[in-house]
Structure 1
Amino acid sequence: MIELISMGNRIQPLPVRDGLNPSRVRFPNDAPAMTAREFVAHLITTQRYVHPDDNDAALDKRFADNEVVDQRGTPFQPDQLLKSGQDIWFYRVPAPELEVPHEIGIIHEDAELLVVDKPPFLATFPRGSHITESVLVRMRRQTGNQALSPAHRLDRLTSGVLVLTKRPEIRGAYQELFARREVDKVYEAIADVNPAITPGTVWEHRMEKERGEFKTRIVAGPVNARTEVNAVTLIDATEHTTLEAMHGPLGPQARYELHPLTGRTHQLRLHMFLAGSPILGDPVYPDVLPLEAEDFGVPMHLLSRRLSFIDPLSGEPREFVSKI
């Protein structure tokens, strides 16, 4: 089994290039004898998404440019036999992607943080088929700061407040803040009016999602997903008309202010679906729609409206509010 390794805050032997980190792959202990060129060729050809120009010539150029290296930055020779457990670093070439026609708004910037309004359909960081069409790569290219890194993650279809750190030495402090759930989050979702969902409603379930699955599941066991409803506001006639222009005829809609007390994948989407009002535009709950049906003009209406926390460096309270 080929192992992809996360480096955390350790120094990479190849720099970030054009917004993209190099890949680090470990040569398997049980692999047959293989040269560095054969192994990298195997990694490229077995990618799910391959750029049509990433051919033998491009592979040879990597070696000629000394862009296939070990952990110490020493270049591999194409015919060099790899050792079991040896790490190899190189640059992948992202496959062509559809450009997401939405801009990333700037909410706040200082010496430590860049806080943005993430639009729908942009991934937070490169993943799967969404590499260059991610907030991280776009903002690295836009700002020229190759050290930018998200402090947390928003689902690709979710919009709103996203915090990025600007310097590697402070990255861990903010990422740990989010990992420890010491950030207060408020979201807004638009969905059908539902008299059963009122301010003060609390949803509690146990949720699990396996790698490769589209949907999060409700299972038996201790509660690990808890959401409070802070407020419910009816959508006015003007906004309703705008929503129908995107989605077609709709019944009465409401904006639900949601306060997640935990951070399970798809937690708010699944809680709204279970309550009888799936979030408008959700392509997974209740039914998984085919990827080819995706329309950049028809978003899912889930917005990270506000984040607040005690800054781990200054000790001061911070609050960031979406302008969307």
Structure 2
Amino acid sequence: MAMITHGTQSGLNQGWTYRDRITVAQAGVSVVAYYADRYRHSSREEWAQRLAAGQLYRNGQALQRDAVLAPGDHLEYHRPPWVEPSVPLDFDVIYEDADLLVIVKPAGLPVLPGGPFLTHTLLHQLRHRYPDETPYPVHRLGRGTSGLMLLARSPLARSVLSQQLRQDTATAEDPQAPHHIVKTYRALAEPGDLPNRFTLTTPIGPVDHPWLGQVYAASPDGRFALSHGQVIQRSPTANLVEVTIRTGRPHQIRIHLAAAGYPLLGDPLYGVGGHPKIRSVPDQRIPVPGDLGYWLQAHHLTLAHPRTQAPMAFTCPLPMPEPEAVVVRPLP
């Protein structure tokens, strides 16, 4: 097992350019109104300040004033360099060949750029280690989730594994269909009388969120999702559960357990019912999916090698907490 170490980075990144293309339905409003409605993490006043600072472009030209958008307009927001939040950047490689890479991701490390994270991501660290042919994540883990991640190092592996994951989700309702890539997680859920073995099928889809516009949550209009689980250990403070997901919906385990009445212990976003918690206290930040506080580990992974078809199985070497000793981490 090899550890890839780049430490905890600090200082400014190099900024980023965010691009949008205006559709017919989006046209007819001003640039500032468009950004304020689509990207609600910033107020209309803040977008107006960015316009005045020369950070908003339309069709390659910096805008000097607010302007009404037309279909086909290409917008750019040139975000200046910023200091990213500190995150753990070390990860372990537990398997590597010409086709595959299996790593152990630490909790707190985002996989892809987004929000305040650009270089403090797993993808950026992989580019340091593999500058010529960066491994491609064939599935994702949430920022707060630790454990096993599967990455493709060859076009063959990327094609085969991605197709298998899509097939597993598409055929999840058929108990006779093969399960090509089996991902099993362990989590600490709130205590209670959750059955020893359980199956969860709450549909998952986008719902309104006042800061991000939309987040995934339990939704009757959502897509089918299937999780099979069992309780490993019970205590007065938490249930240690093991969950195998047959579908690959965003935040599936967090949403499913919350929808069943047993949210992950310390989850700042998903409460009972599987819906986002929207804080009403003035000046208190609204939770988002990347916030930390819960314990969820990608614990076990099985698959067939995409080239040789040899069976492969991996178990996360990270220790698991004892439910009796759980201390809920505060929201940073």
- Which band: TM-score by shorter chain? 0.5 to 0.7
Residue 249 of structure 2 is aligned to residue 264 of structure 1? yes
Q: 1:145-160 to 2 correspondence within 5 Å?
A: 145-160=132-147
Please list the CA deviations of residues 252-281 of structure 1 after superposition, one character each: whole Å capped at 9, or x if unmatched: 222101112222222211221122221022
Q: 2:191 aligns with which of 190, 193, 200?
A: 193
Give the alignment of 1:108-187 within 5 angstroms: 108-168=95-155, 170-181=157-168, 182-187=180-185
Distance 1:28 1:173, change over 3 A: same
Q: State which of 298, 305, 312 in structure 1 corresponds to 2:306.
A: 312
CA–CA distance in structure 1, aligned partners of residues 286 and 203 of structure 2: 31
For 1:180, what is the secondary structure of its paired residue? Answer: helix
Query: Are 1:300 and 2:294 an aligned pair?
Result: yes
List, as ranges, runs of 4+ consecutive aligned residues in structure 1 with deviation greater than 3 Å: 20-31, 46-49, 84-89, 91-95, 142-146, 167-170, 288-294, 296-299
Amino acid in structure 2 at the alignment position of 1:229: G
Partner SS for 1:307: strand
Q: 1:225 is matched with which residue?
A: 225
Shift of 1:118: 1.4
Q: Provide TM-score, normalisation by structure 1.
A: 0.62
Q: 1:148 to 1:22 in 2, by over 3 A?
A: farther
CA distance in 2, matches of 1:210, 1:151: 25
Q: In the aligned structure 1, how far is the partner of 2:287 from the partner of 2:303?
A: 38
Structure 2 Cα separation of the partners of residues 207 and 25 of structure 1:
26
1:96 aligns with 2:96: no
2:20/2:74 contact within 8 Å kept: yes
Match of 1:7 in 2: none
CA displacement at 1:101 relative to structure 2: 3.0
Q: 1:204 aligns with which of 198, 201, 205?
A: 201
Quick one: structure 1 residues 103 and 300, their matched pair in 2 at CA, closer, same or farther if it must change by over 3 Å? farther
Cα distance in 1 between the residues matched to 2:219 and 2:201: 10
After superposition, give the CA deviation of every residue in 1:132-179 in whole Å (9 maximum; x if it has no partner).
121111121144445221111112222211112223454222222222
SS in 2 for 1:312: coil
Going from structure 1 to structure 2, the CA distance change for 1:92 and 1:165 (only over 3 Å counts) comes to farther
> CA–CA distance in 2 between the matches of 1:27 and 1:125?
25
Q: Check whether the contact 1:122–1:134 (CA below 8 A) recurs between aligned residues.
A: yes
Distance of 2:259 and 2:18 partners within structure 1 = 40
Q: Is the 2:268–2:292 Cα contact (8 Å) retained in structure 1?
A: no
| Residue type of the alignment partner of 1:129 | P
Tell me how many residue pairs correspond in the alignment: 259
Structure 1 match to 2:260: 275
**C-alpha offsets along residues 168-215 of structure 1, whole Å, 9 cap, x if unaligned?**
45422222222222311111111233223312x112222212583235
Change (3 A) 1:317 1:209: same
User: 2:268 is matched by which residue type in structure 1?
Assistant: P
After TM superposition, list the pairs within 5 Å mapping 1:280-291 onto structure 2.
Answer: 280-286=265-271, 287-288=277-278
Cα deviation 1:70-99 (Å, max 9, x = unaligned): xxxxxx9x9xxxxx979999x987643112
Does the aligned pair in 2 maintain the 1:108–1:114 contact within 8 Å? yes
Match of 1:35 in 2: none
Instruction: Look up the SS of the partner of 2:84 in the other structure.
Output: coil
- Computed over aligned residues only, the root mean square deviation of the Cα atoms, in angstroms, reads 4.5
Report whether the alignment pairs 1:234 with 2:234.
yes
Letter in 2 for 1:110: D
Q: CA deviation at 1:320?
A: 2.2
**Structure 2 residue runs without a partner (length 5+):** 1-12, 28-34, 43-54, 63-70, 169-179, 272-276, 319-332
Q: Is the 8 A contact 1:124 1:135 kept in 2?
A: yes
CA contact (8 A) 2:100 2:157 kept: no
CA contact (8 A) 2:89 2:122 kept: no
Aligned to 1:245: none
Per-residue deviation, 1:282: 1.0
**Counterparts of 2:155 and 2:20 in 1: how far apart (Å)?**
22
Q: For residues 95 and 204 of structure 1, do their structure 2 counterparts lie closer, same or farther at Cα, with a shift above 3 Å needed?
A: same
SS of residue matched to 1:136 = helix
